[in-house]
Amino acid sequence: MITLQEFCAYLDQYLDCRAFTDYGPNGLQVEGKNKLKKIATAVSASQATIEEAIACGADALIVHHGMFWNRDPYEVVGVKKDKIKLLLENNVSLLAYHLPLDAHSEVGNNWKAAKDLGWKNIEPFEIKGVPLGVKGDFSELQRQAFQAKLETYYNHSASCALGGPHEVQSAVLISGGAHWNIKEAVQEGVDCFITGSFDEPIWHIAHEEKINFYALGHSATERIGPQALGDHLKREFGLDVQFLDIPNPF
């Protein structure tokens, strides 16, 4: 058994939280019980996620998207109040790791995916000096075959703008809502850019800049890190860890 304080200290160091200026606080967001036996991990601190964590008997819930963001109002009212009340009444801690769980070279959303997909020569891909994504290459594939491989891995259909070469062997991957970073990927000269989200202008950019664009869902591309982190914690501490697969097609 591990204490909450020990658990938080380990995660903050393992995920190197101090290296990031983020959009909200990383680490402990709501304090629950002090002794931890069961951990739940998930993508977002939605009400459905919190209810599922309570139902499965978790002592702590670790998410990628936490409850507090820099531009949120300060008032604890409405749904935010309800979610905090649920956590406090059931003595469940909430921990959130946003950019640290995108960038981590072992359990991060991007590095883990690139390794699982068999990429080679993987290196960090920086946005404004922050190594959020990855860049790598792989054995040459038809772009439709590459799409099928991505869809199988993420278990999610791809929204595509196939403006690049028909045969592909290099890509940049940034999970989540990073579609506008297609411009940085173009500058790298890769065949493909992979992310979670998309918007109308991306279609034109992909064809004009001659790059293949694949969007596999914000949530789907960010399930990888929470699952990998849970597996790591299972091995490291022998904890009972459960990934909460809350449906979200976006």
Residues 51-89: pLDDT tens digits? 999 999 999 999 999 999 999 999 999 999 999 999 999
Report d(CA 43, CA 176) in Å as an integer.
11
Do 142 and 191 touch, CB atoms closer than 8 A?
Answer: no
pLDDT for 99 equals 97
pLDDT for 1 equals 84
Given the candidates 3.30.70.1450, 3.40.1390.30, 3.40.190.100, 3.50.50.60, the CATH classification of the domain at 104-221 is 3.40.1390.30
The ranges assigned to domains in the chain are 2-97, 104-221
Average pLDDT of the chain?
A: 97
Do 226 and 24 touch, CB atoms closer than 8 A?
Answer: no
CATH assignment, 2-97: 3.40.1390.30
CA angle 157, 162, 163 (to 5 degrees): 160
Provide DSSP, 132-200. Answer: EEEEEEEEEEEHHHHHHHHHHHHTSPPEEEE-S-SEEEEEEE--SS-GGGHHHHHHHT-SEEEES---H
Residues 93-134: pLDDT tens digits? 999 999 999 999 999 999 999 999 999 999 999 998 889 999
Three-state DSSP at 88 gives: helix
Domains 2-97 and 104-221 share a fold: yes
Report d(CA 128, CA 103) in Å as an integer.
13
